[in-house]
Chains A and B, each alone.
Chain A
Amino acid sequence: MTSSQLLTTHLHDWHVAHGAKMVEFAGFHMPLWYKAAVPEHLATRTAAGIFDVTHMGRAMITGPEATQYLEYLLPTRIQRLETGEGTYSTFCTMKGGIVDDLFLFRLAENEYYVVVNGANRKKDFAWMNKHADGFKVKVANISDITPMFALQGPAAVMILQKLTTTDLSSVPRFSSIQIKLDGHEVIATRSGYTGEDGFEIAQLNVSLDEKEKAVNLWNRILDKGQEEGLVPVGLAARDTLRLEAGMVLYGNDINEQTSPYQARIGFIVHLKKKTFLGREALVTEKQEKPQQLRIGLIMLGKGIPRTGNPISSKGEMIGEVTSGSISPLIKKGVGLGYVQRAFRKSDTLVHVEIGKRKRWAEVIHPKRMLSRLKALASSKN
């Protein structure tokens, strides 16, 4: 695909003008990095980073049966969400496999905002529309008219606070608010894909024809964050940030053959609900216990795990790496992968087979990966 056939975000020309290395991602022409990934990563961990995430898919789900529809569509409990509250979830197939992972926020009694992966936009809207049959509900694709930025890092909330009088510190994690930022209407959600505090901001009703509105807001945020050390961050650091935080990437770490239980995001499944897509398969799987489970890997010495590397123990194959890269925090390789159930426990030592060499790695629960890496990084300094 040549770059002229790719989709562009509102910020595309800004990225190019600021020297970004541009690549294809999810059908879009996106910045991989501006100067370099590792400094962008570390700036997000110590100060703040801003990311163009307009390539992600956004839906507005409305109608008198919006809640019943979502209760059927998702394994997660929706009814109990208060206005503003949000949750992580997945679409599941009848076999319990993951169609996509997503964030959902209840904006009003019968109004929900859903954010899905860019690479799955088409599939997800087809899925949502197909299952909307029989419900009084409307699924609107607002992706093209809602430029979206993520502002992440320990200074993120403080920076954003400079653009609004609404108290942002009182917005709970995974909750949303609709506010004006510098005169622009946005949905701001206290969520992200880095393991740091921050907001994801979708600017409402801004088409590509008025892209300067998005560029203006982006520049205003960057400007306000200058003294805190805010930098623009590309996709390469977005990937290493989520990897250190043990978060899944659809297509690598989860797919239609993996279930939420295998991926160890089973907390999103609420089996007490009597009807939802994939329930029967998930009930069975929970009873029988999944035999392959997702784990985090921290390399003890040299070697960087990469997708597809075998994981072994005492010469026996026990699994495979699904994502891997450098951890800029500890300057060692880190990864995510699946192993046989017996090897899932933290502190288990396994081999990652990289090229012809077997490298020692420590297993850790993906949820505990970032705190472990931060502890390792601070003991090193």
Chain B
Amino acid sequence: MTKVPSELLYTKEHEWVRQEDGLVRVGITDYAQEELHEIVMVELPSVGTRVKVGDVFGTVDSVKATSELFSPISGEVVEANEKLEEAPELVNNDPYGEGWMVAIKSSAPDELKGLLSAADYEKFIEGLEK
């Protein structure tokens, strides 16, 4: 079963967003990692990069294809998961935990209102599977 933790927010580009103390942590969903299958390379922005909502901030490569990562929110990248450099498979093994990608200090917290709830995201991926 595809996991969609209820406490997170989601995008239609299959990213999840976790609100933490003053920042948001971002990764790709269980559905996304299953679809991509073996993730062999992850490229993330350096700390300090400024992103706007919808910007491409990185790429994820599977054996078959390259996919872009779109920022779910505007702000400044304050952390990037360096472990993924050596162990991109963490995204497959633990997409909501050790496979997180970046933490962003939001400059427009209102943007979070535009994201999907877990229930809405579940409906969205059910629609894709039909």
Which residues of chain A have a CB within 8 Å of any CB of chain B? 21, 33, 36-38, 236, 240, 302-304, 306, 325-326, 328, 331, 333, 354-356
Q: Say which one of B7-15, B35-43, B104-112, B116-124 lies at the interface with A.
A: B35-43
Instruction: Mark contacts of B48-64 with chain A using CB atoms, 8 A cut-off: 1 yes-contact digit, 0 otherwise.
Output: 00000000100101011
Chain B residue with Cβ nearest A39: B38
In the complex, are the beta carbons of A326 and B66 less than 8 A apart?
A: no
A354 and B63 in contact, given A37-B38, A38-B40, A326-B41 (Cβ under 8 angstroms): no
A to B contact number (C-beta, < 8 Å): 39
In the complex, are the beta carbons of A304 and B66 less than 8 A apart?
A: yes
In the complex, are the beta carbons of B61 and A326 less than 8 A apart?
A: yes
In the complex, are the beta carbons of B64 and A331 less than 8 A apart?
A: no
In the complex, are the beta carbons of A355 and B68 less than 8 A apart?
A: yes
Residues in chain A near residue B128, CB distance under 8 A: none
User: B1 near A: Cβ within 8 Å?
Assistant: no
Chain A residue with Cβ nearest B68: A355
In the complex, are the beta carbons of A355 and B63 less than 8 A apart?
A: no
A325 and B63 in contact, given A36-B37, A36-B38, A302-B41 (Cβ under 8 angstroms): yes
Q: Give the Cβ gap from B115 to chain A, nearest Cβ, in Å.
A: 25
Which residues of chain B have a CB within 8 Å of any CB of chain A? 37-38, 40-41, 43, 56, 59, 61, 63-66, 68
Q: What 8 pairs across the A-B complex have the smallest Cβ distances?
A: A326-B40, A304-B61, A37-B63, A36-B38, A302-B43, A236-B63, A38-B38, A306-B66
Residues in chain A near residue B41, CB distance under 8 A: 302, 304, 326, 331, 333
Q: Give the Cβ gap from B68 to chain A, nearest Cβ, in Å.
A: 7
Q: Give the Cβ gap from B26 to chain A, nearest Cβ, in Å.
A: 19
Residues in chain A near residue B40, CB distance under 8 A: 38, 304, 326, 328, 331
Q: Give the Cβ gap from B77 to chain A, nearest Cβ, in Å.
A: 17
In the complex, are the beta carbons of B63 and A326 less than 8 A apart?
A: yes
Additional 17 contacts, C-beta under 8 A, given A38-B63, A304-B66, A326-B41: A21-B37, A33-B37, A36-B38, A37-B37, A37-B38, A38-B38, A38-B40, A236-B64, A240-B63, A302-B43, A306-B65, A326-B40, A326-B63, A331-B41, A333-B41, A354-B66, A356-B56
A322 to B68, CA, bound (A): 21
